Amino acid sequence: MQTVDLQELGLRGVNAALHAQAADTNQTVWTIENAKGSHAIACGLDAPIEVTVKGSTGYYCGGMNQQATINIHGSAGPGTGENMMSGKIIIEGDASQYLGATAHGGMIVVKGNASSRCGISMKGVNIVVQGNIGHMSAFMGQSGNLVVCGDAGDALGDSCYEARFFVRGEVKSLGADCEKKEMREEHLTLLQGLLDEAGFDFKAEEFTRYGSARNLYNFDVDNAGAY
Domain ranges of the chain: 2-215
pTM of the entire structure? 0.94
Residue 169: phi, psi to the nearest 5?
A: -100, -145
Residue 205: strand, helix, or coil: helix
153 vs 159: CA distance, rounded Å: 15
* Closest by CA position to 150, among listed 110, 91, 189: 110
Query: CATH topology for 2-215?
Result: Pectate Lyase C-like (2.160.20)
Q: Are 102 and 120 in contact (CB under 8 A)?
A: yes
| Per-position pLDDT tens, the chain of length 227 | 899 999 999 999 999 999 999 888 888 999 999 999 999 999 999 999 999 999 999 999 999 999 999 999 999 999 999 999 999 999 999 999 999 999 999 999 999 999 999 999 999 999 999 999 999 999 999 999 999 999 999 999 999 999 999 999 999 999 999 999 999 999 999 999 999 999 999 999 999 999 999 987 776 767 667 65
- CA distances, 183 to each of 35, 45, 82, 116, 201 (Å): 42, 36, 29, 25, 19
- CA distances, 196 to each of 53, 110, 188 (Å): 23, 14, 12
